[in-house]
Chain A
């Protein structure tokens, strides 16, 4: 029912937005046209001419300032391009070593990333379960079925509640008898129906998040015709708390592994510096600044980090690819199905950023630490 309504609403709103978008486009076209005319008119006027003169003056004044700046920028870019290509070339010369180092980084990054993606998906799925949230309202035993219906009527006016079902005392008894098989026992004992009326409340979709539901329950508990207001999704709340805990654990793990990546990259760069000690001494003798010497190592660290990020993404993708089959079979047993989990482009982006930053920081620390000690002799 609800789903149906939903999709209707979506279709409707889509149509609506399409129409308004089309309207707006036409409006904008006329608007820009009008503005254009207004601007040309204004430029022809005195104030506009003044502005043009001032702009031309600024241009003439800044040109001699910007020309050298442009030249410096171009030179700077050429330097960096040269270093970028040569550092990539150096790494490509020893593909196996490069790949192995990058893989270690990749694995270290993949572990927290994979766990995080898993957690995120679990969170998403469990949020879906919130839709099934329902509140059982056990009325006081002295409330009759009519009372129950009356209460239901007032509750239905509450905007928070989408639907209120009434289980009358006799219905409850019948259900109980049917479920328990004690049908004849009650008849034989001829006791009075011991079951209260129950109202089952379904919160409106907008209010299905846990906190809102909790609030509703608290409110209902205060009513004096209510014996117990029971919220059936307590376990979900526990799950959320657990997830928060797991999130912390993953965060801690990520920090530790990031430290590991820093050490790996730092050590790799340190070895590279030691291997090129003689070269560094010579370049220093011929007037190389520390920045010049640092640059290729920083780029090398950056490449390691980025490559590690790509490898991590690949590993996580493969992992979830393998997980998909069994997960779906499991889901089938619960009569649901999981959407395929796939670390998206955003995960790749985050992994690249993390790898790049760690690579830069690791090599920066390694170079800074080593460079001062290397002086020509």
Chain B
């Protein structure tokens, strides 16, 4: 589903944030991306969302060569991907319902479909009763859940999250990870960047570890030792 072949990303200032990274994530997988601060996790996710373009190498996502996507195609390409950010990045002047509805409105769904799907997504993150509230009135965890509902409401094939639990307490973090796991079980390919090692250990998923822009570890089974190595 997501394949990187010898991908290098050099920022205009001349800094190589990713160096010769190669990996492959099969459809329906749930993968954690880890590494120290500044290792290049966010950069990797930005390449997937075509926010940045790679300097060298080839990136294939859902059968599309990302480097060859035209500017006009980018919006439609991005509709295949749901994003969750560290800060939820909600629209503060719009209700929870309208925030979650955004991807559907963009894609041009009918009013009836929008209502049905938004309710379903909000129900999944147990926030249905808050649908007409404004984000300001929600707690940090609730806001993050609204962001997650927004990212899955249009049923993307890929879900990308950049430190979704960055500023949440451990219990809430676990709940949110379980939520991602649920989506994964519905067939969504999930890629989560985090440096929460304990959480990764609990989740028992495959891990990609970056160090100074290079992929140092990619494992599927024995994670307790590798994560320690990655430290």
CB distance from A74 to the nearest CB of B (A): 9
A282 engages B89 (CB within 8 Å): yes
Are the C-beta atoms of B102 and A375 separated by less than 8 Å? no
A341-377 CB contacts (< 8 Å) to partner B: 375-377
A290 to B110, CA, bound (A): 20
Residues on B with beta carbons closer than 8 Å to the beta carbon of A78: 110-111
Q: Which residues of B contact A149 (CB under 8 A)?
A: none
A375 to B51 alpha-carbon distance, docked (Å): 7
The answer to the question of B76 belonging to the interface, with a C-beta cut-off of 8 Å to chain A, is yes
- In chain B between 67 and 111, which residues have their CB closer than 8 angstroms to a CB of chain A? 72, 75-79, 83, 89, 91, 102-103, 105-108, 110-111
Residues of B near A32 (CB, < 8 A) are none
**With A75-B110, A377-B51 as given contacts, are A286 and B91 in contact (CB-CB < 8 Å)?**
no
Cβ-based interface call for A57 (8 A): no
- Check if A283 sits within 8 Å of B106, measured CB to CB: yes
B108, A289: Cβ atoms closer than 8 Å: no
For the complex, count residues of B whose C-beta is within 8 A of A. Answer: 21
Q: Which residues of B contact A278 (CB under 8 A)?
A: 89, 91
Shortest A89–chain B CB gap in Å is 11
Task: Let me know if B79 and A287 touch, CB within 8 A.
Answer: yes
In the complex formed, the residue of B with least CB distance to A83 is: B105
| B20 → A minimal CB distance (Å) | 25
Q: Which residues of B contact A287 (CB under 8 A)?
A: 75-79, 103, 106-107
Contact partners of B215 in chain A: CB under 8 A:
none
Contact check, A282 vs B78: say whether CB atoms are below 8 A apart. no
When distances are taken between beta carbons in the complex, the residues of chain B under 8 Å from A79 are 108
Residues of B near A279 (CB, < 8 A) are 91
A-contact bits for B39-74, CB 8 A (1 contact / 0 none)? 000000000010100000000000000000000100
Partner of B83, one of A82, A285, A289: A285
Residues of A contacting B75 with CB < 8 Å? 284, 287-290, 292
**A317–chain B nearest beta-carbon distance, Å:** 37
> A330 CA to B103 CA in the complex, in Å?
67
Residue of chain A at shortest CB distance from B83: A285
In angstroms, Cα B104 to Cα A78, docked, is 14
The answer to whether B49 touches A285 (Cβ under 8 A) is: yes
The residues in A between 261 and 319 inclusive whose CB is less than 8 angstroms from any CB of B are: 278-279, 282-290, 292
Interface of A is mostly: helix
B108 CB contacts on chain A under 8 angstroms: 75, 79
Question: How extensive is the interface on chain A, given as a class?
Answer: 10 to 19
Chain A positions 13 through 43: 1 when the CB is less than 8 Å from some CB of chain B, otherwise 0: 0000000000000000000000000000000
Across the interface, do B110 and A285 meet the contact criterion of CB distance under 8 Å? no
Cβ–Cβ contact A282 & B110, under 8 A: no
Whether the pair A283, B89 counts as a contact (CB closer than 8 A) is no
In whole angstroms, what is the CA distance A368 to B125 when docked?
38
**Contact flags (1/0) for A64-94 with B, using CB distance below 8 Å?**
0000000000010011001000000000000
Q: Which residues does chain B contribute within 8 Å of A82, judged by CB atoms?
A: 105
Contact of A376 among B51, B105, B106, B110 (CB under 8 A): B51
User: Is there an interface contact between A282 and B79, defined as CB atoms closer than 8 Å?
Assistant: no
Contact of A286 among B51, B72, B78, B110 (CB under 8 A): B78
CB distance from A290 to the nearest CB of B (A): 8
Known: A278-B89, A376-B51. A286 touches B111 (CB 8 A): no
Contact B89 A286 (CB under 8 A): no
Report A372 CB to chain B, min CB distance, Å: 10
Residues of A within 8 A of B51 (CB): 285, 375-377
Question: CA separation between A313 and B84, bound complex, in Å?
Answer: 50
| Complex contacts, B105 vs chain A, CB 8 Å | 82
In the assembled complex, the Cα of A79 lies from the Cα of B105 at a distance in Å of: 9
Cβ contact within 8 Å between B110 and A283: no
Do residues A282 and B106 form an inter-chain contact, with CB atoms below 8 A?
no
A359 to B218: give the CA distance in the assembly, Å.
Answer: 56
Asked whether A282 and B111 contact (CB < 8 A) given A289-B75, A375-B51, the answer is: no
* B106-A292 in contact (CB<8A): yes
- Please state if A286 and B79 are interface contacts (CB–CB under 8 Å): yes
What is the CA–CA distance of A82 and B83 in the complex, to the nearest angstrom?
25
Q: Collect the chain B residues with CB atoms within 8 Å of residue A289's CB.
A: 72, 75-76
Whole-angstrom distance between the Cβ of B84 and the nearest chain A Cβ: 11
User: Which chain A residue lies CB-closest to B102?
Assistant: A286
Given contacts A375-B51, A376-B51, contact A286 B76 (CB under 8 A): no
Question: Inside 8 A of B89's CB, which chain A residues have their CB?
Answer: 278, 282
> How far, in angstroms, from A329 to B1 measured CA to CA in the complex?
86
Residues of chain B whose beta carbon lies under 8 Å from any beta carbon of chain A:
49, 51, 72, 75-79, 83, 89, 91, 102-103, 105-108, 110-111, 150, 154
Residue positions of A touching B, CB distance < 8 A: 75, 78-79, 82, 278-279, 282-290, 292, 375-377
Can you give 29 contacting A-B residue pairs, CB < 8 Å?
A75-B108, A78-B110, A79-B108, A82-B105, A278-B89, A278-B91, A279-B91, A282-B89, A282-B91, A282-B102, A284-B75, A285-B78, A285-B83, A286-B78, A286-B103, A286-B150, A287-B75, A287-B79, A287-B103, A287-B106, A288-B106, A289-B72, A289-B75, A289-B76, A290-B75, A292-B75, A292-B106, A375-B51, A376-B49
New contact pairs (17) apart from A79-B108, A376-B49, CB-CB < 8 Å: A75-B108, A78-B111, A82-B105, A278-B89, A278-B91, A283-B102, A284-B78, A286-B78, A286-B79, A286-B83, A286-B150, A287-B76, A287-B103, A288-B106, A289-B72, A292-B75, A375-B51
